Amino acid sequence: MPMRINIYRYDPDYDDQPYTLDYDVDPATAGPMLLDALLFIKANLDSSLSLRRSCREGVCGSDGMNINGRNGRACITPLSALAGSDECIQCGGCSSACPSFWWNPDKFVGPAGLLAAYRFIADSRDEAGVSRLEDLQDAYRLFRCRGIINCMAVCPRGLNPTAAIGAMKVWMLTRGRSG
CATH number for the domain harbouring residue 154: 1.10.1060.10
Cα–Cα distance measured from residue 164 to residue 172, given in angstroms and rounded to the nearest whole number: 12
Of 82, 107, 130, which closes a domain? 82
Based on the domain organization, do 91 and 164 belong to the same domain? yes
Segment among 5-19, 45-59, 74-88, 119-133 with least mean pLDDT: 74-88
Based on the domain organization, do 160 and 125 belong to the same domain? yes
Provide the residue range defining the domain that includes 70.
Answer: 3-82
Residue 45 placed within a domain: yes
**At 84, is the pLDDT very low, low, confident or very high (cuts 50, 70, 90)?**
low
Q: What is the pLDDT of residues 134-178, one digit of tens each?
A: 888 888 888 888 888 888 889 887 788 888 888 888 888 877 544
**For residues 31-58, average pLDDT:** 89
> How many domains is the chain built from?
2
Residue 8 placed within a domain: yes
> 64 forms bridges with which residues in the sheet?
73
Region of 88 please: left (phi>0), alpha (psi -120 to 50) or beta: beta
Q: Which residues contact 127 (CB under 8 A, 6 or more apart)?
A: none
Q: Could you tell me what percent of the chain has a pLDDT over 70? A: 91
Judged against a pLDDT cut of 60, whether residue 99 lies above it is answered with: yes
pLDDT of residue 17: 93
Based on the domain organization, do 123 and 161 belong to the same domain? yes
